[in-house]
Amino acid sequence: MAQVPHEPEEPAVTAASYAEIQQFYGRHMRAMDEGRVEDWTGDFVPDAVFATNARPEPQRGRAEIARNAETAARQLREKGVLRRHCVTTLELRQGGPGPTLLAKTYALITRTVVGERSELEFVCTCEDVLVRHGGRWFIRHRQVFRDDLPES
């Protein structure tokens, strides 16, 4: 094997971490998709930053993130839209120091109105900095990039 163009990340992340983070996203995305905004918001640290190319400015702090999420959830409810965040293709790296992980995912977001066909609404990449406190993981920084929107 003459040439190894990039280093593997495998040794650095345990199977336990990998399973925990997949669980984390399973719970986190369902919370949003089922309209449990408070549960979803609770997955961010209080001073988390959430940047996305769908907004001109990053959202700073759990309170602001919660306000925007509640607005979005209410709009979906009013329009009768079911949205699913289907998370795929997780890649984890050790951040650090301390129990910090960098998690990259692809999300396929579907949109359905009962009686109509489900649609792929948009595709995004998500890069999270995850930190561990008190036996569970939280989001410290999120960068979402929607493929269909220009860089903000």
98 lines the binding site for a second copy (CB under 8 A): no
Considering the complex, state which of residue 96 and residue 116 has its C-beta at the smaller distance from a second copy: 116
Confirm if 37 and 133 have CB atoms less than 8 A apart. Answer: no
Residue whose C-alpha is closest to residue 54's, from 121, 132, 139, 99: 121
- Residues 6 or more apart whose Cβ sits within 8 Å of residue 84: 29, 33, 109, 110, 112
Mask of contacts with a second copy, 62-81, x by CB under 8 A?
--------------------
- Interface residue with a second copy among 51, 102, 123, 144 (CB under 8 A) is 123
**What sign results for the dihedral spanned by CA atoms 100, 45, 49, 31?**
positive
Largest CA distance in the chain: 59
61 lines the binding site for a second copy (CB under 8 A): no
With CB under 8 A as the contact rule, which of the stretches 69-77, 94-102, 109-117 interacts with a second copy? 109-117
- Interface residue with a second copy among 32, 35, 42, 72 (CB under 8 A) is 42
Tell me how far apart the terminal alpha carbons of the chain are, to the nearest angstrom.
Answer: 42
Which residues would be at the binding site for a second copy (CB under 8 A)? Answer: 1-6, 8-11, 13-16, 18-20, 22-27, 29-31, 36, 38-39, 41-42, 45-46, 82, 84-92, 104, 106, 108, 110, 112-120, 122-123, 125, 133-138, 147-150
